[in-house]
Amino acid sequence: MQFNENLNRLKTYEPGKDIELIAKEYGVKEVIKLASNENPLGTSQKAREAIIQNASKAYLYPDDSASELRNALALKFGLKMQNVIIGAGSDQIIELATHAKLNHQNAFLQCGVSFAMYEIYAKQVGAKAYKTRSITHDLNEFKSLYEMYKDEIKILYLCLPNNPLGECLNAFDVEEFLKDLDEDCLVVIDAAYNEFASFKDEKKHINPAKFIEKFPNLLYLGTFSKLYGLGGLRVGYGVANEDLIDALYKLRAPFNVNILALKAAVAALDDEEFVKSSLENNFSQMQKFEDFARFNAIEFIPSYTNFITYFFEEQNSSNLSEKLLKKGIIVRDLKSYGLNAMRITIGKPYENTRFFEEFEDILKKN
Ligand SMILES: *Cc1c(COP(=O)(O)O)cnc(C)c1O
């Protein structure tokens, strides 16, 4: 069968491996997953209660306007419900933004190495990818590429902080940079980990209300999959001025977010204790990953997220990841990004300790 020719240029997204599947395949009893940047503390108590309380409503279609969650987010950011759209993960908002702006005659611009879905969605509609040579965000390079291909570039992605490398630009520099862009270029600020960055360093904080007021061409993306511990329910959001949100709404499928996800997200947003302990665990444990790297002469970029990326010289990251897998530890090899590196999600203290023990052993024997 012949398919749409855009499919020939597409790669399938490579997700973190599943715990149950690995346990079966490798015959390991206790599998530790440090691969998908999920919250190691699990699902907040408040969110779990909301899920249980609403389980009996699973036969009903959800509120299509998602007004409870949109209002809760609007309140948090000091905006109106009309400035918010909810998606089945912020992934889905990236898809809507792609359909709103890209086609086979134009292009998008991103950092050299960044979240894989920007390119996958763009290629689905035949759009071209421009990437900076630098693997981390370099605004000078963004600027010169943008100037060169201005007429083509219709989406510019900034991942703040960046997945899978963990670095983060300062909000002030981003603001200055955005002033020079054409209004017709949609700027997507992917803030999937911005709560982590803001906790570590205030200068990294992107205030969506302030940014969308200054830049009507800006779309801010947030998710409940990482800090808020709801990856399994698929819920994320976009924040922008009303015209932009209206355009995205035209592309949205009805009832795109399920009833349990909507209820759990409202509850998770309200669970400040859980958020605080998640952030504290993350950065106190991050310290241990940095110490481990220094002790073993592994290179890393200081991370503003809930993961750390280790770079290798002599050793092969795929080989190392595979050896960890055999011990029941799942990490994310970055070979598919063209890097000899692995991304490790910061886990709970006992998970991290086990990672350090097993990994040190593997490094010695290699
Ligand atoms: C995880 C992630 C997302 C989207 O996650 P969803 O689960 O779809 O909400 C978006 N961008 C980045 C950079 C991510 O790491």
Task: Tell me the C-alpha distance between 292 and 288, whole Å.
Answer: 6
Pocket test for ligand 1, best of 14, 223, 258, 346 (most atoms within 8 A of CB): 223
pLDDT digit of tens for each residue in the chain (366 aa)?
A: 888 888 888 888 778 788 888 888 888 888 999 999 999 999 999 999 999 999 999 999 999 999 999 999 999 999 999 999 999 999 999 999 999 999 999 999 999 999 999 999 999 999 999 999 999 999 999 999 999 999 999 999 999 999 999 999 999 999 999 999 999 999 999 999 999 999 999 999 999 999 999 999 999 999 999 999 999 999 999 999 999 999 999 999 999 999 999 999 999 999 999 999 999 999 999 999 999 999 999 999 999 999 999 999 999 999 999 999 999 999 999 999 999 999 999 999 999 999 999 999 999 987
Among 90, 104, 82, CA closest to 154: 104
191 touches 90 (CB < 8 A)? no
- Long-range pairs for 27-31 at CB < 8 Å and ≥24 separation? 28/326, 28/327, 28/328, 29/328, 30/328, 31/328, 31/329, 31/330
CA–CA separation, 336 and 346 (whole Å): 21
Structure tokens that stand for 281 in this block: 């665990």
CB under 6 Å to ligand 1: residues? 89-91, 115, 159, 163, 190, 192, 223, 225-226, 231, 236
Do the Cβ atoms of 107 and 153 come closer than 8 Å? yes
List the residue whose alpha carbon is closest to atom 8 of ligand 1: 89
Q: What is the residue extent of each domain of the chain? A: 5-43+273-365, 45-271
Q: How many CB atoms within 10 Å of residue 337?
A: 18
Q: How far is the CA of 91 from the centre of ligand 1 (A)?
A: 6
Q: How far is the CA of 279 from the centre of ligand 1 (A)?
A: 18
* Residue from 203, 195, 198 nearest 171 by CA: 203
pLDDT for 95: 98
Among protein residues, the one whose CA lies closest to atom 12 of ligand 1: 192
Residue type, 323: K
pTM score, two decimals?
0.96
Angle, in degrees to the nearest 10, between helices 259-270 and 45-53: 150
Mutate which of 37, 137, 158, 163 for ligand 1? The one with the most ligand atoms within 8 Å of its CB, which is 163
Residue 91 alpha carbon, nearest atom of ligand 1: 8
Answer CATH for 5-43+273-365 from 3.30.930.10, 3.40.50.300, 3.90.1150.10, 2.70.150.10 = 3.90.1150.10
Q: What is the pLDDT of residue 101?
A: 98
CATH of domain 45-271: 3.40.640.10
One-letter identity of residue 327: K
Rounded distance from Cα 23 to ligand 1 centre (Å): 25
Query: Which is the closest atom of ligand 1 to the Cα of 231?
Result: 7
Nearest CA to ligand 1 atom 11: 192
Instruction: Name the closest-CA residue to atom 9, ligand 1.
Output: 89
Q: What is the pLDDT of residue 26?
A: 85
